[in-house]
Amino acid sequence: MDTLTKEYLKAKFLEYYSKNDVEEPRLLWEREWAFVEVESLPDFIMRRHIAFDSYIELKGFILKNVPLHIYYSSAYYEKPDAENMEAKGWKKADLIFDIDADHLPNGSLKEAKRQIKMLYDVLEEDFGCKDMEIVFSGSRGYHLHVHDEDFLELSSAERREIVDYLSLTDFKFSRKLPESRQSYRIAEIMANEIDKALKEGKIRELFPNISERREKMLLAAAEEVVESVKSLNFDYFPKTLEKGLTRLFNKAAESVRIHVDPPVTADVKRLIRLPGSLHGKTGLKVCKVSRDEIDEFKPTRDAVVFEDDFVKIRVKSNVKLRLKEEEFRLKKGKAKVPEFVAIYLICRGVAIYGW
């Protein structure tokens, strides 16, 4: 990236940080802070092991250095600015989950949203978490931070067990499913599928090798069949239909499965993006979204912070994007675009500033 572009980006980020507050994490002074500065581009050099005593100090640092990326540690330390982990003195750490659209089977931000909602609800209902925050990452996913004291001292292995619970690692079909909420969730979906198939006369689609006698019997007892599946009882389905059951189970499990990124949760000293800061690779705002508002939340609209004034840029290759409910198609070469588009493209590395 050329100097002019860097200067422009820095000026704009500074403008943002002068007008807006960033989120103040709890016990800010027990956190390690890390920054990537505009100057380091195109390399990604992180300055770590920084600590602040107060919000004012943090804000002062941000205004002075205008970082491109701002991170703080999920962990609380005795000495957050010590250079090595032992000297830092780990006390506890927020429990963090990351759902990244790029790691999902169908890879969309919409699916990421469905998953983060599911995650929130499972953590609330099953784990009894009450103090949680959902954060849009500023790019391709959502983070969830759990602050309930009960969960802060969990070790890495213990956190990974929670991941296994959510993502159903190695959870396989058997006729004796454990009586757990996860089993019941899956069974409920299986039962509904079977119910639908029975009503539409399509049970053979689920169980291609079903005998006519068995088909009749299931139809006759449809209600009981569905209820028994819901209560984890598969006795209506003989051994010969095992394959169909397994297929049905796997499909149902897939929609219950929450694809949290395992290393993020298991890491008890993770660096995470600060809510309220800007994501340096998109220029979008890393923002908190409450559980009630998430349905309405649209990252490409609600996380855009820059203005509409026109800016001259040079686009490096043809691009198409959607921001603030507007579609932009740009050809390689000179272009005049609203500021928020310019910054997005510059951050992505597909444009430079000026003609």
Partner 1 sequence: MKFLPLLPLLEKYPFLKPARHIAGEAYHKEALKEAEKFLRFVFLNEKYEKSFEGYSLLCEACEDKSCAKFCKSGAIKNERIWQKCSLCGTCFEKCNYLTRVEDYSRLLARAKISIMSYVYCRAVVSKSEVALRKFAVRAAEYYKSLMEKDSYDKLPEILAANFSIKYKSGFVHVKDYLKAAVRLKAPEWKLYSRSLNGGFVRVSRNEFFRIVEEYLREKLSEKVSYEFEGMEKLLKIVFEFESKRKEMDVEGVKNAECYPPCFKKIISDLKAGVNVPHSARFALASFLLRIGHSVDEVLQIFSYAPDFDEEKARYQVEHIAGMRGSGKEYEVPSCETMKTYHNCFSDCKTKHPMEYYRRCIRESFGRGKKRKATGVKARSGKR
98 labelled catalytic: yes
Q: Kindly tell me which residue out of 2, 57, 131, 153 binds partner 1, with binding defined by CB under 8 A.
A: 153
**If binding is defined by CB under 8 A, does position 211 make contact with partner 1?**
no
Binding segment for partner 1 among 43-51, 156-164, 289-297, 343-351 (CB under 8 A)? Answer: 156-164
The answer to whether 100 is a known catalytic residue is yes
161 touching partner 1, by CB under 8 A? yes
180 is a contact residue toward partner 1 (CB under 8 A): yes
Single out the residue of 251, 355, 323, 99 nearest to residue 345, CA to CA.
Answer: 323
Pick from 84, 105, 208, 309 the residue near partner 1 by CB under 8 A.
Answer: 84
Q: Which residue, among 92, 14, 64, has the nearest Cα to 270 in the 3D structure?
A: 92
Task: Based on the shown chain and the rule CB under 8 A, indicate whether residue 165 belongs to the binding site for partner 1.
Answer: yes
What are the tokens at 328? 């932009």
Instruction: Judge whether 265 and 276 are in contact, CB under 8 Å.
Output: no
Q: Which region, judged by CB under 8 A, interacts with partner 1, from 12-20, 23-31, 165-173, 326-334?
A: 165-173
Which of 2, 7, 102, 164 is the binder for partner 1 (CB under 8 A)?
Answer: 164
CA distances from 280 to 41, 232, 274, 321, 345 (A): 10, 49, 12, 17, 11
Is 267 annotated as catalytic? no
Cα distance between residue 13 and residue 15, in whole Å: 5
Q: Does 230 bind partner 1 (CB under 8 A)?
A: no
Cβ 85 to partner 1 shortest distance, Å: 8
Which is closer to partner 1, CB of 161 or CB of 205?
161
Whether residue 42 has a cis bond before it, omega within 30° of 0: yes
Q: Check 2, 121, 261, 302 and give the catalytic one.
A: 261
Element (H, E) at 109: helix 109-125
**Which residues neighbour 84 within 8 Å (Cβ) at sequence distance 6 or greater?**
none
Per the residue annotation, which of 21, 43, 94, 98 is the catalytic one?
Answer: 98
Tokens 């189970």 sit on residue: 249
Tell me the HSE value of 2 on the side-chain side, using a 13 A CA sphere. 10
Task: Please count the helices (runs of H) and the strands (runs of E) in the chain.
Answer: 13, 15
Q: Given the rule CB under 8 A, which residues bind partner 1?
A: 84, 125-129, 150-151, 153-158, 160-162, 164-165, 168, 171, 178-183, 263, 266-267
Catalytic positions: 98, 100, 261
